[in-house]
Amino acid sequence: MKEKLKELRERAISQIEAAQDPEKLNEIRVAFLGKKGELKNIMKGMKDLSPEERPQFGQMVNDAREAIENRLEEVGRAAEKRLMEKRLAAETIDVTLPGRQTEPGHLHPNSIALRELEKIFIGMGYEVVDGPEIEYDYYNFEALNIPDNHPAKDEQDTFYINDKILLRTQTSSVQIRMMEQGRLPIRMIAPGRVFRSDEVDATHSPSFHQVEGLVIDKGLTLADLKGTLDTFAKELFGEETKVKFRPHHFPFTEPSAEMDVSCFKCGGKGCRFCKGEGWIEILGCGMVHPHVLEMAGIDPKEYSGFAFSIGLERIALLKYEIDDMRLLYENDSRFLKQF
């Protein structure tokens, strides 16, 4: 038994000395010191020794194990050092070479347009409010005076999750939520993503952005609405900009209108940009319908209000003279670098 133990110790150290890498050393460790290794097999023979011989043999086993482990550690450190030196030699960096250039990111055209809109309205005392994109039918339609049989509720135009929940088609739903809180007066804009079942083309997308505006206070009239939007247009497109209002119909406002601005390319003379008309449609607006105020718990005899809806992509297309809405979503770096 003693001779076997001595032979095992010498053989293990010899193999350790010949090993060149940590992986081979680990194989030797398992072969000699593992649970099923050779040292464990020799220890099984202790049962054949006399009680007097066992302590001496146990000591020899421990000495052999310690010698093998120590040599494994010494050779392992040397192997790791050799590998590190080899790696450093192969991965030498020439610090005199020019570094890699990184291009800093920048705001998307939509984000630039939104920041400019927010800056204008915050300057007029408006609050920026957010709301859920997955909305209840009540807030998206019913509370906005849109009955069940209205064409806007057709499934061809709206993405329904179930009978009562949908992807919002307008950020006007945020206005209802604000009015229900009862904190009057209200002066707010609600920018956000909206969804409609539209075919993708140069001017339409199933997902786009709106900026809804709402003001509720005592004594508001259509003149307040017109003055606010006139100021907005001049801040956005320049002091020479003119506005005009055309009668329109929206279920949640009465009276309702669409607002045009004079073409900022030709000054209203007519050009390719405004299709020769001198005017460009920019938003819809109107005085909040009394029934909408009532459903939100506001007395229409005491309070009045006005609302407007701006298509963010439309502002970006006009302001930066982009002729295809799809460019805003395709993430073509050649296009985005221009901004």
| CATH code at 109-336 | 3.30.930.10
Question: Contacts for 69-78 with beta carbons within 8 Å, 24 or more apart?
Answer: 69/33, 71/12, 71/13, 71/16, 71/17, 72/16, 72/25, 72/28, 72/29, 75/16, 75/17, 75/19, 75/25, 76/22, 76/25
Quick one: pLDDT at residue 88?
Answer: 81
Quick one: pLDDT at residue 294?
Answer: 93
Quick one: pLDDT at residue 255?
Answer: 94
Quick one: pLDDT at residue 1?
Answer: 67
> For residues 277 and 267, what is the distance between their CA atoms, to the nearest angstrom?
11
Q: What residue has token string 């009532």?
A: 294
Indicate the pTM of the whole model: 0.66
- The domains of the chain are located at 2-90, 109-336
Quick one: pLDDT at residue 338?
Answer: 86
Mean pLDDT, consecutive 10-residue segments, the chain of 339 residues?
A: 75 80 81 77 72 75 81 84 83 80 84 93 94 93 86 74 91 93 92 89 86 95 95 90 92 93 77 79 93 93 95 87 85 85
Q: Could you please report the per-residue DSSP string of 51-119?
A: TTHHHHHHHHHHHHHHHHHHHHHHHHHHHHHHHHHHHHHHT---TTSPPPP-PPP---HHHHHHHHHHH
DSSP assignment letter at 151: G
Quick one: pLDDT at residue 165?
Answer: 93
Tokens of 315: 């502002």
Element housing 276 (H / E): none
